[in-house]
């Protein structure tokens, strides 16, 4: 995710003995509706040379059927060669959108509206929270947004409520229970699309560590 939205970084190296130009790209259906909003803009690449570009991405492309997957399949062609087919693996934590923040009322209403079957839990044994304020400030830079926190009565545990949004428009509610300063936390997720939960757990564990 770039400062102005989602981008896909590409680097091409010309290993042939002729200039390559006229590059075009196409994405297959994927779980997040990712598709280019413009065609590739590359200068001709001389033999033995490389070129890089950033491709602006939107989230209104065709969706692949469930279950949710990190796979991204694409086809690239140029004027001198046949179509090349590639498969990439998405870093889901890079897909969190900037408008995933919810106020308290919307958070609670959304949580209550979802069935218990849509909730899942995972322990992050190696993650610790030294300071809640610093931790949630760091998560905000990754588009994981703080909603509220509370102390569990009769314990030294803190519950932190967070939200995030995945393309094209999947809100994910996150409830973290931890003892500040002690390794290990319990992460609960509730969402209307529970098949994204395993991918979100992996992404959250990466950015929370």
DSSP-derived secondary structure letter, 77: E
pLDDT digits (tens, 9 = 90+) for 45-96: 999 999 999 999 999 999 999 999 999 999 999 999 999 999 999 999 999 9
Q: Helices in the chain by DSSP H: which ranges?
A: 104-113, 132-140, 197-208
CA–CA separation, 90 and 109 (whole Å): 31
Q: Report residue 72: phi and psi, to 5°.
A: -135, 115
- Reported in sequence order, the residue ranges of the chain that DSSP labels E, i.e. its strands, are 7-13, 24-27, 35-36, 50-58, 71-77, 84-89, 119-124, 145-151, 158-166, 170-178, 185-191
Confidence of residue 4 (pLDDT cuts 50, 70, 90): low
pLDDT digits (tens, 9 = 90+) for 135-146: 999 999 999 999
CA–CA separation, 55 and 169 (whole Å): 21
Instruction: Report pLDDT for 204.
Output: 98
Instruction: Establish whether the linkage from the previous residue to 182 is cis, with ω within 30° of 0.
Output: no
């Amino acid at each position: 995710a770039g400062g102005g939205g989602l981008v896909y970084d590409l680097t091409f190296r010309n290993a042939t003995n002729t200039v390559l130009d006229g590059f075009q790209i196409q994405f297959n259906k994927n779980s997040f509706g990712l598709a280019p909003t413009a065609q590739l803009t590359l200068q001709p690449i001389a033999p033995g040379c490389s070129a890089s570009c950033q491709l602006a991405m939107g989230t209104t492309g065709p969706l692949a059927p469930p279950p949710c997957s990190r796979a991204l399949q694409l086809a690239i062609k140029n004027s001198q060669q046949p179509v090349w087919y590639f498969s990439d693996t998405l870093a889901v934590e890079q897909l969190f959108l900037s408008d995933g923040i919810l106020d308290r009322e919307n958070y609670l209403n959304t949580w209550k509206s979802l069935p218990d079957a849509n909730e899942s839990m995972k322990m992050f044994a190696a993650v610790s929270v030294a300071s809640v304020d610093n931790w949630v400030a760091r998560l905000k830079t990754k588009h994981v947004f703080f909603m509220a926190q509370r102390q569990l009565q009769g314990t030294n545990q803190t519950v932190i409520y967070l939200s995030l949004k995945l393309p094209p428009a999947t809100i994910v509610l996150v409830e973290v229970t931890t003892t500040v300063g002690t390794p290990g936390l319990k992460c609960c997720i509730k969402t209307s699309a529970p098949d994204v939960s395993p991918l979100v757990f992996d992404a959250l564990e990466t950015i929370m560590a």
